[in-house]
């Protein structure tokens, strides 16, 4: 019994050492960054092990983990949440319920996930997009662009651009009461790359017109 506890203790210490990363103390919510880093590192380790023993591909481990966090489109007292398609691409809409005298801003959000996993329907993104809709009284659109390696580059970028162009149509701006002069494209990680690229492509196209 004592021997087992000792082995378990040593394992914990080695594992803690493995997942430890020095993080600057002066950033906000240091413990949260540390926790996310530990989860990603542990998933990466499990992914490597699973791939080595031929159980599943490395990226599928991340895909499986992210699919555990998917949420349903649940409306609340302030925001109507709808899953639909824009140009055949799945999107999740957050529409503020309160009547507005003026046109609303729109925030288009592209989730991260190294281009291979993640979804705007994951709980943390659902929380973030809902919060943004509430806080800014804005229409928020989360995009589920196609993921690699099943759909290699530039599928994700094509989807992002298609959705942005879909939203920029007069009838869609009218339908959701969006101010065309106040549309923001944003994202995190790989989603931020897509946001930057999509913004450039859409702006270049509109300059040519």
Ligand X SMILES: *[C@@H]1O[C@H](CO)[C@@H](O)[C@H](O)[C@H]1NC(C)=O
Does residue 193 touch ligand X according to CB under 6 A?
no
CA distance 74 to 85: 17
Q: Which of 64, 78, 87, 186 binds ligand X (CB under 6 A)?
A: 78
CB-count burial class (<10 Å; 0-12, 13-18, 19+) for 134 = middle
* Smallest gap from residue 103 Cβ to ligand X (A): 20
CA distance 94 to 139: 6
Provide CB contacts within 8 A for 66, sequence distance 6+.
113, 117, 118, 119, 122
- Window of 8-16, 54-62, 81-89, 175-183 that interacts with ligand X by CB under 6 A: 81-89
Using DSSP's 3-state secondary structure scheme, residue 89 falls into: strand
Q: Which of 84, 169, 200, 206 binds ligand X (CB under 6 A)?
A: 84
- Window of 16-24, 78-86, 118-126, 165-173 that interacts with ligand X by CB under 6 A: 78-86
Q: What letter does residue 122 receive in the DSSP assignment?
A: B
CA distance 95 to 102: 14
* Total count of residues recorded for the chain: 209
* Smallest gap from residue 82 Cβ to ligand X (A): 8
Q: Which of 10, 13, 16, 76 binds ligand X (CB under 6 A)?
A: 76
Give 84 or 123: the residue with its C-beta nearer to ligand X: 84
Does residue 85 touch ligand X according to CB under 6 A?
yes
Q: Which of 47, 90, 118, 142 binds ligand X (CB under 6 A)?
A: 90
Q: What letter does residue 103 receive in the DSSP assignment?
A: P
The torsion defined by the Cα of 24, 27, 32 and 33, in degrees rounded to 10, comes to -50
Give 44 or 78: the residue with its C-beta nearer to ligand X: 78
- Binding positions for ligand X, 106-165, rule CB under 6 A: 134
* Smallest gap from residue 63 Cβ to ligand X (A): 18
CA distance 44 to 32: 18
Does residue 64 touch ligand X according to CB under 6 A?
no
Instruction: By CB under 6 A, name the binding residues for ligand X.
Output: 76-78, 83-85, 88, 90, 134
């Amino acid at each position: 019994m004592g021997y087992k506890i000792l082995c378990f203790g040593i394992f914990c210490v080695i594992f803690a050492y493995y997942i430890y990363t020095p993080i600057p103390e002066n950033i906000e919510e240091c413990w949260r960054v540390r926790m996310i880093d530990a989860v990603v590192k542990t998933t990466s380790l499990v992914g490597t092990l699973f791939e080595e023993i031929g159980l599943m591909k490395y990226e599928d481990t991340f895909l499986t983990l992210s699919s555990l966090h998917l949420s349903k489109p649940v409306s609340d007292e302030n925001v109507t949440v709808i899953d639909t398609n824009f140009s055949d691409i799945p999107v999740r809409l957050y529409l503020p319920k309160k009547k507005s005298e003026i046109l609303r801003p729109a925030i288009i959000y592209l989730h991260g996930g190294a281009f291979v996993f993640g979804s705007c329907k994951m709980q943390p993104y659902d929380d973030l997009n809902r919060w943004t809709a509430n806080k800014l009284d804005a229409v928020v659109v989360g995009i589920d662009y196609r993921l690699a390696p099943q759909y290699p580059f530039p599928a994700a970028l094509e989807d992002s651009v298609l959705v942005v162009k879909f939203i920029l149509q007069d009838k869609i701006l009218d339908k959701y009461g969006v101010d065309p002069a106040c549309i923001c494209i944003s994202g995190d990680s790989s989603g931020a790359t897509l946001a930057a690229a999509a913004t450039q492509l859409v702006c270049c196209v509109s300059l040519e017109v």
